[in-house]
Structure 1
Amino acid sequence: MFFDFDGVVLESGNIKTDAFVELYSGSGIEEQVREHHLAHQGVVRYEKFKWISENLLKQEHTEEMGLELGNRFSELVKGKVLAAPFVPGFREMITFIRQQNIYCVVASGTPQEELREIIINRKLSPFFDEVYGSPREKAEITLEVMQRKQFRKEDCLFFGDASTDHQAAEQTNVDFFARLTPELSDYWENAPYKYGALDFSKMQ
């Protein structure tokens, strides 16, 4: 099993959306920033910073600017993510999955060091055999684990709430479980997926 993190494990998707908007508060592009972030959930934050600088602010983007924005972003979200509740039903679902000795991997767009720190602080380590974040792409992570562990694609399932999660599943030919958030309702209307639900509360 492969899992995205924000919006799948914890209800932290909106926390990061609000943080993106707050970073650009007073710039006049707040709504465009929100729309871009929601359309590219799961994309590495540094890629979004670069796109916003070049396409919305019409200015040159440097690595130093990206690092500064990344540090400010982490400061805005870290405490809130550590306090975020579980997506309804997730804890019960993952507990059942682990009781069946099913291998579980996190493949997230969150920077890997930050992600692993959150996993440890939220005492989630027993739920996951491997935890990976950016800069590696989700499809790359999924394929590498499948090949190394010799998992057949028909035995794998990717749980996600973003277009990048869905695309990673398509690129690796594994089935997809869509967490159907209202923010991406237009996307899910047109995206093919095998399973989907508003949350995991009815999966026990």
Structure 2
Amino acid sequence: MDRQTFAWRAVLLDFDGVILESNAARTEGFRRLFSDHPASAVEALVRYHEANGGLSRYHKIEYFFREILKRDVSPAERDRHAARFSALVKQTVIDSPYVPGARKFARRKHPFSMHLVSGSDQEELREICGRLGIAASFAGIFGSPTPKIRNVCGILAAHGYEAGRTVLVGDSRNDLEAARANGIFFIARAPAGAAWAADGDARIDDLLGLDRALETIAGRSV
């Protein structure tokens, strides 16, 4: 594809760790949510959570009960825990600082569409973006319980975006896998040396480097 005539159609962005520095708020939320359970079990969940950014709280709550506590959890019980998690973390997430460059990038006019695609609860995410004053910057805001892979697929289908002109910006291997499963580009927001990020198309320290990364990979083959 000729770089001189290339144009991005859509930029999809994760939220926690890409727009806001809110990953720590989510981590502490799980500790508070299950504070009445054995500390060793809670820390096992925290390790799983930190290794699997991009997966929903619904999945992680089920994992906690089924894989760590070794007992079943009903959909109703899972949803009650998910609602309490939201109540515990929402304001802390809102109070988290922006990733450097994220607020300006989100509010700027672009020649492409932008969508948020997060593992966070969809209704919670839409409320948070509304309170932050950035919701109108995005053509769509999507989250759990629908898995990220399916949300990305749905965005491509609904808008007719070409995979080769669409990119996902994320901060976890699960974000990378969602991009690859849908045949789109991936830019990792990750520290230098993060092994998983090497499998993406570009790496940035923060969103101050996103314009350059988009320019660098424009016109490549996915």
What is the TM-score when the length of structure 1 is the normalising length?
Answer: 0.89
Displacement of 1:152: 1.3
The correspondence for 2:69, drawn from 34, 51, 57, is 57
The correspondence for 2:203, drawn from 193, 196, 204, is 196
The correspondence for 2:110, drawn from 100, 114, 120, is 100
Partner AA of 1:20 in structure 2: F
Consecutive unaligned residues in structure 2, runs of 5 or more: 1-10, 212-222
Q: Which moved more, 1:77-86 or 1:57-66?
A: 57-66
Q: For residue 196 of structure 2, what is the aligned residue in structure 1?
A: 187
Distance 1:121 1:60, change over 3 A: same
Distance 1:64 1:4, change over 3 A: same
**Following the alignment from structure 2 to structure 1, what is the Cα–Cα distance between the partners of residues 81 and 151?**
25
**Following the alignment from structure 2 to structure 1, what is the Cα–Cα distance between the partners of residues 64 and 176?**
23
**Following the alignment from structure 2 to structure 1, what is the Cα–Cα distance between the partners of residues 106 and 189?**
15
Consecutive unaligned residues in structure 1, runs of 5 or more: none
Partner AA of 2:121 in structure 1: P
Distance 1:49 1:173, change over 3 A: same
Displacement of 1:178: 0.4
1:87 to 2:99 alignment: yes
Q: For residue 138 of structure 1, what is the aligned residue in structure 2?
A: 148
1:36 to 2:39 alignment: no
**Following the alignment from structure 1 to structure 2, what is the Cα–Cα distance between the partners of residues 52 and 46?**
10
**Following the alignment from structure 2 to structure 1, what is the Cα–Cα distance between the partners of residues 178 and 51?**
15
SS in structure 1 at match of 2:207:
coil
Q: For residue 122 of structure 1, what is the aligned residue in structure 2?
A: 132
**Following the alignment from structure 2 to structure 1, what is the Cα–Cα distance between the partners of residues 49 and 72?**
20
Aligned ranges for residues 134-173 of structure 1 at < 5 Å? 134-173=144-183
Displacement of 1:156: 0.8
SS in structure 2 at match of 1:104:
strand
Distance 1:34 1:181, change over 3 A: farther
**Following the alignment from structure 2 to structure 1, what is the Cα–Cα distance between the partners of residues 205 and 118?**
20
Displacement of 1:68: 2.3
SS in structure 2 at match of 1:151:
coil
**Following the alignment from structure 1 to structure 2, what is the Cα–Cα distance between the partners of residues 91 and 122?**
10
**Following the alignment from structure 2 to structure 1, what is the Cα–Cα distance between the partners of residues 169 and 209?**
15
Q: For residue 38 of structure 2, what is the aligned residue in structure 1?
A: 27
Displacement of 1:203: 4.3
**Following the alignment from structure 2 to structure 1, what is the Cα–Cα distance between the partners of residues 72 and 160?**
44
Alignment check: 8 A CA contact 2:58 2:145 kept: no
Alignment check: 8 A CA contact 1:161 1:181 kept: no
- What RMSD in Å do the two structures reach over aligned CA positions? 2.0
What is the TM-score when the length of structure 2 is the normalising length?
Answer: 0.82
SS in structure 2 at match of 1:38:
helix
**Following the alignment from structure 2 to structure 1, what is the Cα–Cα distance between the partners of residues 88 and 77?**
17
> Between the two proteins, what is the percent identity of the paired residues?
29
Partner AA of 2:168 in structure 1: F
Displacement of 1:126: 2.5
Displacement of 1:181: 4.9
SS in structure 1 at match of 2:65:
helix
